[in-house]
Amino acid sequence: MVNSRIPGLKDLTLEERREIVAANSPLESADFAAWDPATALTLDQADHMIENVVGVLPIPVGFAANFTINGRDVLVPMATEEPSVVAAASNAARIARASGGFTTSSSDPIMRAQIQLVDVADPEAARLRLFEARDELIATANEQDPMLVTLGGGVRDIEVQLVEARTQTYVVLHLIVDVRDAMGANAVNTMAEALAERVGEIAQGRAILRILSNKADLRLARARAVFSAEQLGGEHIVDDIVHAAALAEADPYRAATHNKGATNGIIAVVLATGNDTRAVEAGIHSHAVRDGRYSSLTKFEKDANGDLVASLEVPMAVGLVGGATKVHPGAQAAVKMLGVTTASELAEVIAAVGLAQNVAGLRVLATEGVQRGHMSLHARNVAVSAGATTPEEITAVATRMVSEKAVRAERAAEILEELRRDGR
């Protein structure tokens, strides 16, 4: 029985943490090799993934604890170079857990492909001609991916948009495709390319672009949770978080940072599972500006008990089959840790993590500010750069610098020299 509630994590060794993960997720001890520098993605494997390979770039992989999502406990793998992100997500998840955790939902995994037509003399009539050919176009598109159709996916519909642009009105055909457990780019691009010529014929124009849209507005993942005022630090903190969220709704300068808080969590899971981080970010940002002005992705309210109710709804184009998710051993281990079997389940976990991360960020901003937490971690890095080697030395140098409010390389070197001179 998986229990994601794991107190005292920061005091455990890496080996102890692995044992806990193995006991509380589908991962087995052998699976951790996928994240060991010596046995992780090999140069040969990397050489098959992209071009002109000269090496690999290791990024730390941690896990967020305390998540309960739709009543199921789950440990969440996160790949990130940013300190505090994993701890912050785990903290917010602990608070949400006390009120039942996260409740999530998602739309069907529907992506769009666009076919752009130029030089159409009668765009309005062309639009109707394309609709008249709907069944033929859907049948041809589905023939490109019989396996997807067997799995219950395939083209659901077409849309035709007339886009007034700089020099002419473009006719743009959208293929609306249920891509099931794929991210979907390959499936919909193949369909769009196969249809382009015929679509051009029907519209009596010329097809240029045939490509998916990253504005995945039909593939939404949602998460909501309640955070008790008491656990957040009092009702005044709830009020201040709601004020912070209101500023993000109204002010694009703040919205960008607010949304960066949520994407800290979202992208860490997207990356850990080998998914396309740029596709997800493009989807998220197009969603944030869907009403014509860039705004926040999350909503915050105070409920009748004075507790914080937070929710998030975002496009989430992630898959479990194909791409790096299938070939990267670390991504496979991450998917296994999550125990998810569909792309929609993965998308919902990611939404829950994004929400937790956003709440954690706002709570810190509404209380002590970000610098205290960042400073202690930064101080550890400064201690290491100044030559501290053992965990004891690093902690001693960092703690002294933080208490003296002097986190600087020269001070780290002085403290280190003092410690070593005194034989400590």
Least distance from C-beta 390 to ligand MEV, angstroms?
29
Work out whether 144 is an interface residue with ligand MEV (CB under 6 A). Answer: no
CB of 176 within 8 A of CB of 218? yes
Active site residue 260: yes
The amino acid that residue 147 corresponds to is M
Q: Would you say the C-alpha torsion 363, 369, 370, 373 has a positive or negative sign?
A: negative
Residue 302: how many CB atoms within 10 A of its CB?
Answer: 15
Spell out where 285-421 has E strands.
298-302, 308-315
Active site residue 119: no
Report which of 318, 302, 304, 325 is spatially closest to residue 354, judged by C-alpha positions. 318
Secondary structure (DSSP) of 329-348:
HHHHHHHHHHT--SHHHHHH
Least distance from C-beta 86 to ligand MEV, angstroms?
12
Active site residue 251: no
Please identify the residue of the shown chain whose CB is closest to the bound ligand MEV. 261
Among residues 154, 275, 361, 411, the one that binds ligand MEV under rule CB under 6 A: 361
The Cα 9–Cα 243 span in angstroms is 32
Among residues 237, 242, 362, 383, the one that binds ligand MEV under rule CB under 6 A: 362
Q: Considering CB under 6 A, how many residues would be counted as binding ligand MEV?
A: 9
How far apart, in Å, do the first and last CA atoms of the chain sit?
44
Residues 207-266 that bind ligand MEV (CB under 6 A): 257-258, 260-261, 264
Residue 260: how many CB atoms within 10 A of its CB?
Answer: 13
Among residues 211, 365, 377, 406, the one that binds ligand MEV under rule CB under 6 A: 365
Residues 369-388 that bind ligand MEV (CB under 6 A): 370
Least distance from C-beta 294 to ligand MEV, angstroms?
15
Give the interface segment with ligand MEV, choosing from 173-181, 224-232, 329-337, 357-365 (CB under 6 A): 357-365
Least distance from C-beta 257 to ligand MEV, angstroms?
4
Active site residue 287: no
Least distance from C-beta 88 to ligand MEV, angstroms?
8
Query: What 3-state DSSP class applies to 4?
Result: coil
Q: Quickly tell me which residue has 């992100």 as its tokens.
A: 85
Q: Are strands 72-79 and 298-302 parallel, antiparallel or unpaired?
A: unpaired
Work out whether 165 is an interface residue with ligand MEV (CB under 6 A). Answer: no
Active site residues: 82, 260, 276, 374
Which residues would be at the binding site for ligand MEV (CB under 6 A)? 257-258, 260-261, 264, 361-362, 365, 370
